[in-house]
Amino acid sequence: MNIIEKIPIPISGLILSLFSLGNLLQDIHPYLRYLFGVIGAIFLILMILKVIFYPENVKNDFKNPVIVSSSGTFSMSLMILSTYFISFMPTFAYAIWILGIGLHIMLMIYFTYRFIIHDFDINTVYPTYWIVFVGITMGAITANVHGITEIDFIFFLIGFVSMLITTPLIFYRYIRHPQVPDMNKPLICIFTALFSILIVGYLNSADIISNTFLLILYSIACVFYIFALLKFISYRNLDFYPSFSAFTFPFVISALATKGIVTKISNSNIILNSVLTIETLIAVFLVVYVLVRYIKFFKNSKKVEINST
C-alpha cells in the first residue's frame, strides 16, 4: 500500500490549517506563508491523486458520515488556496475558488440527503457537522480577495443560520450520548472553530460592523477556545488517528479571529495583542505537532507494509 492510497480523507483538515496558518503568519514574514502553503499543497496533491487512482477507496469512505463531514475541509482548503494565486494568476485563483464553493455546496446537499434525511443516527452526530454547514462561511472570508462583494455576506448568513440549527443537535448528542470512541474524541476541538470562523467571515463580508454582535461572538469563541484547549491536553496521549486534524484548523482560525478583531477594531489593545500572540504560538505548535504525527503515521505504515511482505 503506497502513501497515496494510505492518505486519509481527514488529512484535508491539516491541509486547511497549513494554508490558513500561512495566511496568519504572512505579516511576520512572507516566506512563512509560502513554506506552510507548499507543505499544504504537497498533501493536497496527494489527496487529489488518491481520488484519481483509488476512487473505490474514496467511495467506500463516503459511506461513513464522520469522514464525509470531515471532507468539507477539502473544499474549504481550495477556497483558501485560491488566495495564494490571486496576485499572479487571478483567473486560475478564481477558478479554484469557484471549484471550492461548488464542491462545498454539493457536499451540503449530499450530506443532508444521505445522512440526515435518509440515514440519520444521533450517534454519528459530531462537530464535523459544522464543517459541512458552517464551513461555507469560508466563502465569505475569501470572496473579497476575488473582488466579489455582492454575495460574500450571504455565505456568512448561511453559516450563521446553520450554526443556530446544528448547535442544539450537537450539544444534545454529547449530553445524552456522551460515549465517544477514541478515534472520534479529538473532533470535539472543532468547537473552538465554530464562532471563530463566523467572526472572520463577518469581519470580511459585513459592510457595517456591529461591535456588540462581535463582542458576543468573540466571548463565546473564547469560552470554546479554552474548552477545546483543555480537551487537547487531555487527549494528547491518545493513539494517533486521522481525527487529530481537529487539533489544527480550529486553533488557527481562532487566532485569525483575534487577529481580525485586533486589525479592524482595536489595534492598540494590549490584552488582545497578547492574546493574539499566545493563540498564534499555540496554533503553530499544534499544526507542527499534528504534521509530525502524520509523518510518523506514514512511516510506521510503510514499516508494517515492508515487514508483512
Read off the pLDDT of residues 251-276 as tens digits, 9 standing for 90 and up: 999 999 999 999 987 777 899 999 99
Q: Give dist(CA 216, CA 224) in Å, integer.
A: 13
Place of cell 510503510: 302
**pLDDT for res 67:** 98
Q: Give dist(CA 217, CA 165) in Å, integer.
A: 16
pLDDT digits (tens, 9 = 90+) for 47-86: 999 999 999 999 999 999 999 999 999 999 999 999 999 9
Q: Kindly provide the b/e burial profile for residues 298-307, where b requires at least 16 CB atoms within 10 angstroms of the residue's own CB.
A: eeeeeeeeee
Query: What does CATH list as the number for 3-307?
Result: 1.50.10.150
pLDDT digits (tens, 9 = 90+) for 84-125: 999 999 999 999 999 999 999 999 999 999 999 999 999 999
**pLDDT for res 205:** 97
Q: Give dist(CA 76, CA 69) in Å, integer.
A: 12
Got the DSSP string for 68-126?
HHHTHHHHHHHHHHHHHHTTT-HHHHHHHHHHHHHHHHHHHHHHIIIIIIIS--GGG--
- Angle, helix 30-53 to helix 11-25, in steps of 10 degrees: 160
DSSP 183: G
Cβ(139)–Cβ(82) below 8 Å: no
**pLDDT for res 5:** 92
Cβ(126)–Cβ(187) below 8 Å: yes
- Residue 9, SS3 per DSSP: coil
DSSP 265: T
Cα dist. 188→138, 183, 248, 291 in Å? 20, 11, 12, 19
Place of cell 469581519: 203
pLDDT surpasses 70 at 305? no
Domain boundaries, the chain: 3-307
Q: Give the amino acid at 190.
A: I
Neighbours of 209 (CB within 10 A): 12
